Amino acid sequence: MARAITIFLAEDEAQELHRIRNAATSAQSKVFRTRIILRCAAPDDPTNWQVALEFACDPDTVSKWRRRFAERRLDGLEDLPRSGAPKTFSP
């Protein structure tokens, strides 16, 4: 089995992740992703399986967000554009 990417956070990244996690106005999906990244960056360097067990999610979910954060850093926590027409809301 391949070893998960190790996440190292710069001080400013860690501060921003903590701000996102603690902000009452943050989208819950982004907060969840942020919590995953903060846990992956912990000193004990947990596996995707360990993080998935702690957050009651699939290890593939942890792998996806760990990889995207490693590639795109904070921008990797955002949703990717979706195909199709944008959602519309009626008043």
The answer on pLDDT for 1 being more than 80 is no
Q: State yes or no: pLDDT of 2 exceeds 70.
A: no
Q: What is the pLDDT of residues 21-79, one digit of tens each?
A: 999 998 999 999 999 999 999 999 999 999 999 999 999 999 999 999 999 999 999 88
Helix (H) / strand (E) element for 17: namely helix 11-22
What is the biggest distance separating any 2 CA atoms in the chain, rounded to whole angstroms? 51
Q: How far apart are CA 71 and CA 45, in angstroms?
A: 18
Q: What global pTM score does this model have? A: 0.85
Map out the domains of the chain as residue ranges: 11-72
pLDDT of residue 15: 97
Banded model confidence at residue 90, pLDDT cuts 50, 70, 90 = confident
